[in-house]
Chain A
Amino acid sequence: MSMSATRIGAVIRKELAEFQRNRFILTTAAVLPIVFLVSPTAQILALKATAVSTVLEKRVETGLFLPLLIPVFVPAILSAYAVVGEREQETLEPVLTTPVTRVEFLLGKAAAIFLPSVGVSYLMFGIFVAITQFAARSAVATAVLHAPQLPAALVFIPLLAAWAIWVGLAISARATDTRVAQQLSTLASLPPVAVVALMSFQVISPTFEVAAALAGGLLVIDGLALFAVARLFDRERLITGTKPGGEGAAQQRYHVRGA
């Protein structure tokens, strides 16, 4: 059975409509980015024109790193809810009785989370850069604009968001409780952030090659993650809460061929 854009689109539309009416999700999507924007912006604006170059450099590094947490935390929380939340609402079983495949379902969920998460991240990053250009001292503004972390951040935002989404969906497909899933997925999303942090703070030498290798690695992982998460998405476990049992069941499990 081929993949259907209509079914993927249906999942995306439904998810986005639900996000708009879910106060918890709206709050999460609004408050976290603002928190990660306000602190570095305030630090940058507080810099004096006479600030020594090392202090300026550190503030710019921090300022450009903190917004990178937005594409990790926001999608981690949303994706952790995606499957287990539907189980708790008892809406998952009716969906699984339709011809939608698990790959279509997961792709739809991932895309619906990816779009607003990346959008908000870029928006916050844009606001941060714009504020520094218009309100910070000219030396500070120039430092931000010419920092190597700026273009790197533009590349890493979607890659980190995709990583956090797949981690969240994988945990959500196995979890039995939404809150536990959200805590676990937030923690599990951190390793690539740690690597980016080490580069931002120059613990790892932030050469173009290292950044490109990390970005390439994340891209490959993000691309393959769909299929790994799809293997964890077991209809039987999700509906009955138990592992499929017996030899025959192992042979006949319905997730063969993505169904």
Chain B
Amino acid sequence: MSGSSSSPTRPPRPAPAETAAIEVRHLTKSFGPRTAVADVSFSVASGEVFGFLGPNGAGKTTTVRILGTLIAPTAGSAVVAGLPLGPATAAEIRERISIMPEAPGLYRRLTVAENLEYFARLYGLPRREQRITEALAAVGLADRAQDLTGSLSKGLRQRAALARSLLNDPVVMFLDEPTSGLDPVAAHEVHGLIAALRDRGVTVFLTTHRLDEAERLCDRVAIMSTRLRTIGRPDELREAMFSRSLAVTTAGPLDRPDQVFTGLPAVQGWHATSPTTPASPTTPATPPVNGPAGYVLTVTDPAQAAPAVTRALVAAGADVLSIAEPRHTLEDVYLELVEDTEGRAR
């Protein structure tokens, strides 16, 4: 259980505005007999970076395509950028949003500037040259404007696609796997660009497989697996999914651990675990006869429990190697939910 209240890598930012940039109600999409998205409801606040997670085939891209007016829902409704989703508003919604699909989708025989010029005209933008210059500068591609996109690396093409998405100054941006296939440096650069969008107040709807990315960038995340499995701030999800705990490692197994841990303030229970693997409340193990031993204590308040546990261990003559509050990541939450879903499906 993590004691932290927010992701350590994500800088603090003002709370997103209360108005919803996206409001989804009971959205369902079927392709013939196969249901890709089933009865999904959520809302995304204006200015929020919203992570949309899920395994392959979970319905993430289908949801993005529905909200981007590319495909129609089978049932349900949605409001995107202030407009109800439907045939009559589709073109107007497309003017207010932008979508960066997983594949950059650039014309390889055209230069970066020509690609952007084409899209600027499709959006009917005034001051096209200035917009293109600004978009390229925003993604650090100003000096590559005249390069053929076919000659660019994958990372640079992804940046050019992001520049294209910025052209129409969208209210809502859908980014579908924006770092897919990128090396860590290129992915880091894209993260910086998304953070900059957040600072500009753009609502970002980010679908990703990369949980570290979601944890670092997103104000809230939703985990999908055809249905919406959960939604919330990453730290909220961790707290909701996992009870708080302390991981204790001693130089050797305790003779009577039950006597040591039972009745301590804020300690609700305990079990032994292997000290060589990350402590987890869900993986009890028998401590080895010799060598370090691990115990996980379920606690109500780690700050109150830790000193009492330390004193009890010392009193019992144990050599304490460490006492720590295990930090559960968003990945733990994700795996717990997805494995649970897949287990039920089997």
Contacts and interface: CB of A to CB of B under 8 A. Distances in A.
Interface of A: 1, 4, 6-7, 9-11, 13-14, 17-18, 21-22, 89-101, 235-236, 239-240, 242-249, 252-254, 256-257, 259
A89 B108 contact: yes
Of the candidates B62, B73, B90, B108, the one having the most CB atoms from chain A within 10 angstroms of its own CB is B90
A21 B108 CA distance: 10
B72 A249 contact: yes
Given A6-B124, A248-B74, A89 B107 contact: yes
Contact of B121 (A13, A18, A243, A254): A13
Contacts of A256: 87-88
A220 B88 CA distance: 30
Contact of B65 (A11, A98, A239, A246): A239
Interface in B82-97: 86-88, 90-92, 94-95, 97
Nearest to B64: A97
Interface stretch (B98-106, B198-206, B284-292): B98-106
A99 B71 contact: no
A140 B67 CA distance: 67
Given A18-B110, A243-B32, A4 B118 contact: no
B109 interface: yes
A246 B99 contact: no
21 contacts: A6-B121, A11-B122, A13-B121, A17-B110, A21-B109, A91-B105, A94-B100, A94-B105, A95-B105, A97-B97, A99-B92, A99-B95, A236-B72, A240-B62, A240-B71, A245-B74, A246-B30, A246-B75, A252-B86, A253-B87, A257-B88
A99 B122 contact: yes
B31 A248 contact: no
Contacts of B108: 89
Contacts of A100: 122
A178 to B, nearest CB: 15
A95 B122 contact: yes
Interface of B: 29-32, 62, 65, 68-75, 86-88, 90-92, 94-95, 97-101, 103-110, 114, 118-119, 121-124, 161, 164
A252 B73 contact: yes
Given A97-B98, A101-B91, A252-B87, A91 B70 contact: no
B72 A98 contact: no
A60 B119 CA distance: 49
Nearest to A246: B74
A257 B87 contact: yes
Contacts of B62: 240
- Main secondary structure, interface of A, reads helix
Given A98-B119, A99-B91, A89 B105 contact: yes
A93 B74 contact: no
B70 A236 contact: yes
Contacts of A244: 71-72
Given A89-B108, A93-B101, A94-B161, A10 B94 contact: no
A7 B105 contact: no
A235 B70 contact: yes
A239 B107 contact: no
A97 B71 contact: no
Contacts of B71: 235-236, 239-240, 244, 249, 254
Nearest to A18: B109
A14 B110 contact: yes
Contacts of B86: 252
B167 to A, nearest CB: 9
Contacts of A14: 107, 110, 114, 118
A126 B62 CA distance: 53
Contacts of A259: 69, 87, 90-91
B60 to A, nearest CB: 14
A97 B122 CA distance: 10
Nearest to B89: A259
Contacts of A245: 30-32, 74
Q: Which 3 residue pairs across A and B have the least CB separation, nearest first?
A: A10-B121, A246-B74, A252-B72
Contacts of B121: 6-7, 9-10, 13
A97 B99 contact: yes
Contacts of A18: 107, 109-110
Contacts of B87: 252-254, 256-257, 259
A125 to B, nearest CB: 30
Contacts of B32: 242-243, 245
Contacts of A91: 105-107
A14 B119 CA distance: 10
A254 B72 contact: yes
Contacts of A7: 121-122, 124
Contacts of B30: 245-246, 249
Given A6-B121, A236-B70, A257-B88, A99 B31 contact: no
A39 to B, nearest CB: 32
A248 B72 contact: yes
A240 B29 CA distance: 12
A97 B87 CA distance: 14
A97 B94 contact: yes
Contacts of B103: 90, 93
